[in-house]
Amino acid sequence: MEGILNIWNMIMTLPERVPFLVYVYLIAGFALLIKGADFFVDGASAVAKMLKIPSVVIGLTIVALGTSAPEAAVSITAGIAGSNEIAISNVIGSNIFNLLIVIGVCAVIQAFSTDLEILKRDMPVNIGITVILLLFILDGRLGRVEGSLLLLGLVVYLFFVVRSALKSRKNAEEESEKKLTIPMTILFIVGGLLAIIWGGDLVVDNAQRIALSFGMSPMLVGLTIVALGTSLPELVTSIVASRKGESGLALGNAVGSCIFNILFILGISSVISPIVLEAESVIESITDTGILVGVTVLMLILSATGRKVSRGEGILYVCLYAAYMAFAILRCYVF
């Protein structure tokens, strides 16, 4: 009861604790991240089409990079700034959000069948690399050696994905959609990357200020505010796809994003600046990563049952995320 009263008192005194502009800058940072990623994907896709790279390969590589760009910007910026808890908790929180909320909401909108290749290859890979991440952070750090191994894992994974896609693709047909001009393509790519970098800087700086005002740990900020904001591109894209009757894309997008988040974002972040967790954050990181392992295993089991994700399972995923958020918040203020 005392912990709940503490939370209420912090909320009521919030205007005195944090200047209004901090929230404006945080929202502006999220907006830059989302729109920057959107422009970057469009520009990069245009380049791929100019080079006549198959669209399936574009989706598996360039689009995956673009939708994970907000997480990458925040984690790399946080790592360089020494906010290591935000760097790693952002990825863990984003992955939990992608699996439980993105897939859950899409299934609630419309139940969808699961692709056999995702069940056989991508979901087991997601489980495997999450377990590896758990083992890597047991000592409270993610160094350059571990980061290099994660990046190597990404290269190997993309090799098999692209090879499989090229083998199974049909004869490519010329797409009828409008193509960007070369100057517009350059503008989209450069402008998108600049917006992502600037947005990541705004999010990290102002999220830290809010964390201090609330008495929140950087780990909790990364798991909640930052993870939610950087995962919005995946959520919005998947919801739009579901409303168009293509909710089956949600599973592949969410799982692929999770794989990319761990292998690329944590890999490149720890190579640039080794991630060393504070003593009190190690147990939290191990606990949250263990929860993520459990979620990935549960997702594989339920998705393999009947080769579909039902509305009931979608509701279950959303409820599990709500329970996890409640646990993360209470852990910070009560326990």
335 residues of the chain, pLDDT tens digit each? 555 555 545 544 444 455 778 888 888 888 887 787 778 777 776 776 776 665 545 655 666 666 677 777 777 777 777 666 677 888 898 899 989 998 998 888 888 888 787 888 889 999 999 999 999 999 888 889 999 999 999 999 988 887 876 665 554 444 445 567 888 888 888 888 788 778 877 876 787 677 767 777 766 777 777 777 767 766 766 676 666 665 556 677 788 889 988 999 899 888 888 888 877 778 888 999 999 999 999 999 998 887 888 899 999 999 999 999 888 888 876 65
Query: Which option is the CATH number for 2-333: 3.40.366.10, 1.25.40.340, 1.20.1260.10, 1.20.1420.30?
Result: 1.20.1420.30
Q: What is the pLDDT of residue 56?
A: 46
Identify the pLDDT of residue 335. 57
| CB 227 within 8 Å of CB 74 | no
The reported pLDDT for the residue numbered 9 is 54
Q: What pLDDT is stored for residue 172 in this prediction?
A: 46
pTM value is: 0.74
Cα angle for residues 159, 162, 163 (degrees, 5° grid): 80
By the 10 Å C-beta count (0-12 exposed, 13-18 middle, 19+ buried), 96 is classed as: buried
In the chain, domain spans: 2-333
Q: What is the pLDDT of residue 160?
A: 87
What distance in Å separates the CA atoms of residue 272 and residue 265, rounded to the nearest whole number? 11
Determine the pLDDT at residue 85: 67
The C-alpha angle 71, 77, 78, rounded to 5 degrees, equals: 90
Number of residues assigned to the chain: 335
